[in-house]
Structures are given as C-alpha cells and as structure tokens.
Amino acid sequence: MPLLIDVLRHGKAAPSSPAGDRGRPLTEEGRTALRTVADRLGAAGAPPSLVFTSKLLRARQSARIMLSALRPQPVLHELDSLEPEGSVESLLFELSAYDALSGHILLVGHMPLLGNLCAHLTDEKVELSTATLVRIAIAGDRMAGGGRVLFTLRPEGH
C-alpha cells in the first residue's frame, strides 16, 4: 500500500517559557493558523489513521488542534524521534515499529528535522514555515527520494 505522509510544523509558539524550550506554548496567532490548516485538511479527504507528535508542548498542542478537525479522529502517539534535532533515520525506524510506513500518517514536529525528512523523501527542499502542512506520497518501497509533494497547506497571510 502506498504511504501518504502529512508533515506539519507546529504553530507559532511563545518566545520563552518558565519551563524552557520544551514548555513553550502556542500563541493565539499560532492556534488560529493551525485551526485554518486543520479545517483545510479535514476537507481534503480521508484523514490519517495515525498521528505522531513530538513531546514538546507546542507540537502536542498543534496535534490536538489538528485532531479536532478530523473525522474519524486518528490515534495519537508521542515520539522521542520527533525532537527538533532528531535524525531522519531514527524517526523512520520508530515509525516502522508502529507499522506506520504504509497507509496515511500525520507527523507534527519541528525544524530542522521535518525539513530534513522532506528533503530525504523527495530529494527537494520544502519550505515549512510554522503551521504549514505538506503532503508527500510515496508509491513504492523506496523511501529516500521516492516521494513527491502532492500539496501544501498554509494559513492565510503566511
């Protein structure tokens, strides 16, 4: 079965938090932008069956906003490998442990990892500003360079 990967960079976050970088919450602007993208994704057809998010607060909040617009609601998992400085290889290994390298999944995380992942999958640079979602289709078994971008969803004004 082909793989569809929706890659979402978290929404705009507060510049700091008493809890440090891991605890930076989304701003109101970030939440609004994500609701716009979530509504567009909800209207784009069948939702992903699995959602994976980093454990950082802004990504978890972003994932919850996306889930609120999807029917049926997919299952949500937190992954250590979705950390900002994580490696593409570790992420793909962890996804394979969930048997998530076929079907349709949503990844919610950070730069530079998500940019590196998109480049690995498509052999092209993909712009991922905050609250931007890119859908990548992989038709065969070749993950590295085997994908192509189907569409990009950005909030208005970004």
Distance in angstroms (rounded) separating the CA atoms of residues 82 and 65? 18
User: What's the CA dihedral at 125, 126, 130, 135 to 10 degrees?
Assistant: -150
Encode pLDDT of 41-61 as tens digits. 988 888 999 999 999 999 999
Residue 158: its pLDDT value, please? 47
Domains of the chain: 3-107+127-136 (3.40.50.1240)
Q: Which residues pair with 107 in a beta bridge?
A: 7, 52
Segments of the chain scoring below 70 in pLDDT:
1, 157-158
Each residue's pLDDT tens digit, 129-140: 999 999 999 987
**pLDDT at position 2, please?**
81
Q: What pLDDT score was predicted for residue 98? A: 94
